[in-house]
Structure 1
Amino acid sequence: MKDDIFNNTDTKPTQRKRKGVELGYDLNLATSSSGGDTTEKSGDGPQRRLWVKNRSQDWWDKYNREDVSEDEFRKAFQMGKQTFDLICNELTASVAKENTMLRDAVPVRQRVAVCIWRLATGESLRLVSKRFGLGISTCHKLVLEVCSAIKDVLMPKYLQWPNHESIRVISSEFESISGIPNVVGSMYTTHIPIIAPKVNVSAYFNKRHTDRKQKTCYSVTVQGVVDHTGVFTDVCIGWPGSMPDDQVLEKSALYQRANGGLLKGVWIVGGSGYPLMDWVLVPYKQPHLTWTQHAFNEKIDDVLKVSKDAFSRLKGRWSCLQKRTEMKLQDLPVVLGACCVLHNICELRGEEIEPSLIVEVVDDEMVPEIALRSETSLKARDSMAHNLLHHNHAGTSFL
């Protein structure tokens, strides 16, 4: 199970040998020339000839032209041309291939475009193959290669835990949103649908989604912490969908780092699916809340809305996250991680998303078996709730 886990800090890319014949061509060992010239003959007899299947690249050529409009390009790839060029330039050293005597290598821009289009639309590999004029297995290979390059090259730059100076800015911004001091992140866990795996299928069975949708659902989890702008600062990807939020948190590298002192004196705000801890601040959950507790929960919701909205935009930009994928389970963490990195790049560069594409995330939080992990945090939360109401920072919509 651990091979499925993808943390932005401590997981190294796995090297796997992939078997199979490239579907972009056939190798014909012809012994006669009847019906057409199928061999290259010499004095030594028939020779091997490479047949390359001609495919139209008109669709991609249209978007690869300099005169394609910004709006048209953004609608297709969920980002502007300059952002796309930035990604291509940063990935060139990792994804570029050299031409061979048998065939020309797929250009970097086309490689990146295949990957981003597949993530943005969730189209089947068969349709992606037709659009880009490449073989089906070639497209599959390109998606995995580019996603792996995004993880190795772009993740350390665009998805990382903030430094001390950034922490101060984030904390100040969250306090202006909610009135709650020392908040450095908003945390949420969502589920990505998958096809039922052949191994350990019960672990990936998602009972909550199954009950809500009235059809059998399997999933993997994506836990993310975002800053005040909705940019991911930490992700943990790939644990089975049967796990509740608190168990996913305990499996994450963030949990280990926090126990090592990384989050001493600061808070990450989570929903009711998480326990109250020394560094995790959650809403009051008991029935019959006081006015002070209601008011505090309302401010907690203001912070949680930041992460929920970020996941709504993440799933809206990358439609592959909304449907069961053709990918193997072991390949999913790197692909999902690449989506988070691309989300950050788009957010940092101010790339707008069409409102119609934004996906509403649905809470199916389960209250942890041990909801209180720290008596000190219980007193600290009560004190914060009292101060918010006393200083007129708390909301009143609950009234």
Structure 2
Amino acid sequence: MDPGHSLEFPLKRETEGVLLLPSINQENSNLAAFSRTNDEDFLSLDPLMDIKIEPEEFCESNEDDECSYEINSTVNEKHPQACKKEVKQERRNSHNGEKLFRSTVSPCQNFMLTDSELCCVIIAVAASRKKGKKKGSQKGRKWAKQWFIDREKFTHEKLLNELRVIEPNDFRNFVRVNGELFDELLALVAPEIEKRNTIMRDAIPVSQRLSITLQYLATGNSFEDLKFLTAVSPQSIGHIVMETCTALINCLKEYIKVPTTSQEWKQIAQDFYDQWNYPNCLGSINGKHVAIKKPDNSGSLYFNYKKFFSIVMMAVSNANYEFMMVDVGVNGRVSDGGVISYTKFGQALAGNTLGIPEPTQLPNSQKILPFVFLGDDAFGLTENVMKPYPQSALNVKRRIFNYRLSRARRVIENTFGILFSRFGVLQKPIALSPEKARIVALACCYLHNFLRKRHSRAYVTTQLVDCEDLQAGVITKGSWRDVVNEITPLPPNTTSRNATNNAKAVRETYSDFFNNEGQVSWQWKNVGAVGSANN
């Protein structure tokens, strides 16, 4: 190295940390350490060389101002193998009143500082400076907030335990299930969501994970709001909710299933006829929009005809306000009856692979008609999907058909109403990605069927759903309509206007049946006509 060779590089005064470098002592292959003590006043390279930077006087300016170091390497004439280093530190942009650092260096023996070795020193200082900046930016950060660590003091679990004993109705309102069903759900999902305690901290108990999720589904409160109730961080709540919803779907999968045998389909048809006076009906079909927050970089993909962002929930219900099929996730822009073609159910229906029974004779009639699903104007008319006659061409006969179909199809409207009124998360835009919103909505549907089967009377009261006074011809709207402002339906189908002649013939035959041998005494009063099927 040439005598008098020097290099200058910047360094923050608050630089801290340790960095390992190859030793520049040719007789020592160990690693050398660059370090700075916590008092921020001492810098050393050891065993590279004995360098000390000791402040003679301190700067009065901002401690974050940058300093520059100059390293000079000279050869000792008396000891050619020895090197004397002088380190001078001076402030950049110095001004009046600023004080300087003076550094002293003791000589190192038996080695010479080469250019490559000097570069190692510079790299060490630069890297340590960068590390010091990173540490400075994280100064004061905590691993966890203390009140999250002391979760047991502030958690909602204590309140729930009290409510379960002294106010069971309030407990049910909080998590939408009673204590017995909560324990049943807990036993089902525990194997999938339970976590182990670690030496760092105790895991959030399974019961709290389930109650947090049920509270979120029941209210739709944000994770930020729930943290004050549960003493759990919003990030953890997000993970807990998605994990528990997935577990609920997996554990309750038997509560929503499409019939697979002819006998199962016929039982559903019998229930519709007994309760809603529509023969050969296999289910009521409808779709609703589930509002979501606009997904990032999605443009208008999820923007529906009602001018908000959504995903579509398509469902088929039986006669007892229970879902037989639910499909969630089609973007809101695809918002007419064509949505059904995107579902596995719709594809199976079109491909005739649902196992639907063969056409059968109607009650008290010689007419033989196929089994059908009931939809509204959003769906196309087919041999297995009936829809109302258009309002523009109605007579008494067609109004009777529309009334009978509407009476049975109202089941799916009320099923959606119960679902949306019981689970508040569906009443406001879900602030999650479409994929996560889909999981949340599906979990609500599975819980709906679970509660409908296991706790029917408390979950679905007579006042909650629409009720019809048959003799007076008056329909009393269900109370769910007061809770839910609007459940956005699918718009009328504009792409499948041309039904086949066979489909039209099936609808016409059902219309003849309802106006003759299949009539009920109250139907004329409900359509404003008196006893004539031929008007």
For residue 53 of structure 1, what is the amino acid of its counterpart?
A: Q
Q: TM-score, normalised by structure 1?
A: 0.81
Q: Hey, what does 1:313 align to over in structure 2?
A: 418
Structure with higher Rg: it is 2
Distance 2:401 2:488 in 1: 22
CA-CA distance at 1:297 after TM superposition: 0.5
Higher relative contact order (CA 8 A, sep 6+): 1
**Mapping 1:240-279, distance limit 5 Å:** 240-261=331-352, 262=354, 263=356, 265-279=370-384
Q: Output the CA distance in 1 between the equivalents of 2:499 and 2:191.
A: 47
Question: 1-side partners of 2:487 and 2:517: how far apart?
Answer: 33
1:82 matches 2:180: yes
From the two aligned structures, give the one with the greater strand fraction.
Answer: 2
The count of corresponding residues between Structure 1 and Structure 2 is 345
Q: Distance in 2 between matches of 1:383 and 1:277?
A: 14
1:170-210: CA deviations, max 9, x gaps? Answer: 10121134433211111110111112222332121122x23
Contact kept? 2:383, 2:506, Cα under 8 Å: no
Over 3 Å counting, the alpha-carbon distance change for 1:372 and 1:62 in structure 2 is same
Give the stretch that moved more between structures: 54-63 or 279-288.
54-63
In the alignment, is the contact (CA less than 8 A) between 2:335 and 2:490 conserved in 1?
A: no
CA distance in 2, matches of 1:102, 1:246: 53
Computed over aligned residues only, the root mean square deviation of the Cα atoms, in angstroms, reads: 2.2
| Secondary structure, aligned partner of 2:327 | strand
Note the residue ranges of structure 1 that are not aligned, 5 or more in a row: 1-30, 33-48, 211-216
Q: CA deviation at 1:272?
A: 0.8
Report matched runs for 1:359-374 at 5 Å: 359=484, 361-363=487-489, 365-374=491-500
Which residue identity is paired with 1:376? N
Three-state SS of the structure 2 residue aligned to 1:204 is coil
Show the counterpart of 2:257: 160
Unmatched 5+ residue regions in structure 2?
1-36, 39-141, 358-369, 465-478, 529-535
The 3-state SS of whatever aligns with 1:171 is: helix
Cα deviation 1:351-399 (Å, max 9, x = unaligned): 4258455425354522332234432221111111101110252522122
Instruction: Tell me which residue corresponds to 2:395.
Output: 290
Which secondary structure does the structure 2 equivalent of 1:198 belong to? coil
User: Is the Cα contact below 8 Å between 2:420 and 2:427 reproduced in 1?
Assistant: yes
Q: 1:62 aligns with which of 143, 159, 179?
A: 159
2:321 to 230, 233, 237: 230
Residue 169, structure 1, aligned to residue 267, structure 2: yes
In 2, Cα distance between equivalents of 1:82 and 1:269 = 36
Q: 1:192: which partner in 2?
A: 290
Q: Deviations over 1:17-60 (max 9, x none)?
A: xxxxxxxxxxxxxx98xxxxxxxxxxxxxxxx966622443433
User: Which whole-Å CA distance do the structure 2 matches of 1:248 and 1:185 have between them?
Assistant: 17
Matches of 2:313 and 2:398, distance apart in 1: 29
Candidates 325, 343, 352, aligned match of 2:430: 325
Match of 2:191 in 1: 93
**Cα distance change, pair 286–62 in 1 and its aligned pair in 2 (3 A):** closer
Residue identity in the other structure for 1:236: D
Task: Give 1:326 deviation, angstroms.
Answer: 1.7
1:85-121 residue CA offsets vs partner (Å, 9 max, x unmatched): 1111111111111111111111111111111100110
CA deviation profile, 1:146-171 (whole Å, cap 9, x unmatched): 0111122222x111113434322210
* Structure 1 residue 296, shift from structure 2 partner: 0.6
TM-aligned CA distance change 1:136 to 1:175, over 3 Å: same
What CA distance in whole angstroms lies between the structure 2 residues aligned with 1:134 and 1:204?
32
